[in-house]
Amino acid sequence: MKEIVLDTETTGISIKDGHRIVEIGCIELENLIPTNKKFHCYLNPERKVSEKAFEIHGYTDEFLAVQKKFVDVSEEFLNFIEGKKLIIHNAEFDIAHLNNELSILGKKNIKNEIVDTLTLARDKYPGMSVSLDSLCKKFRIDNSRRVKHTALIDCDLLAKVYINLIDQKEPTLDFKNYEKEINLSEKQIVSYFKKVVSPTPSEIENHKNYLKNYLKKNYFN
């Protein structure tokens, strides 16, 4: 089963205030394993980034002004997520912004099946902080790269959080598919070399004298 872990960054919170998307990140999973297929883009929102949003993701108006517009990437994005379950943290926010962008272009709303990991976490851990950072801490997921909110890093972390939330161990590769037979010879001979040190005549004589002097019986007469 293929799923898409998705995250967006925006100019601000509410679409009612005219806020737009500035970044979309998607990572594809197949049976909970990343397939290395990704969709990522920065977007020109055609408006200024709010001060609070800038504090969150750090994208400046100057940087975003030279990026593509949503109209330029919409078809590629829709093709990437087509027919796949979407895994989103606080899905209401991201879907509202994505549908707003689509409506501006006269396109239909997203109809994909959606799993909101925020809701999953709230149901599973009532009363606990369920931010992405808090969940990473709970599941001992290294989020040290998350200095700012960026879509692809957040997707990578969310994929690991999602696996823990649904009580699945993080998958590992099936190495049986990648095993190579290593033919070893039936007999492997390893030679160990010892350096034999023989005592000198004077050392033998000294040893005899030692035995004569310190042992009750003399075996060297």
Q: Which residues, in sequence order, are CB contacts of 130 under 8 Å at separation 6+?
A: 118, 121, 122
Pairing of strands 114-116, 85-88: parallel
Q: Which residues pair with 85 in a beta bridge?
A: 3
CA atoms within 13 A on the CB side of 93: 18
Contact assessment for residue 92 and residue 100, using Cβ atoms and an 8 Å cutoff = no
Place of tokens 């099946």: 113
Radius of gyration of the chain (CA): 33
Active-site residue, from 19, 89, 97, 149: 149
* DSSP class per residue in 139-194: TT---TT-SS--HHHHHHHHHHHHHHHTT-PPP---GGGT-------S--------
Active-site residue, 149 included: yes
Please state the three-class secondary structure of 110-132 as a single string.
CCCCEEEHHHHHHHHCCCCCCCH
Active site residues: 149
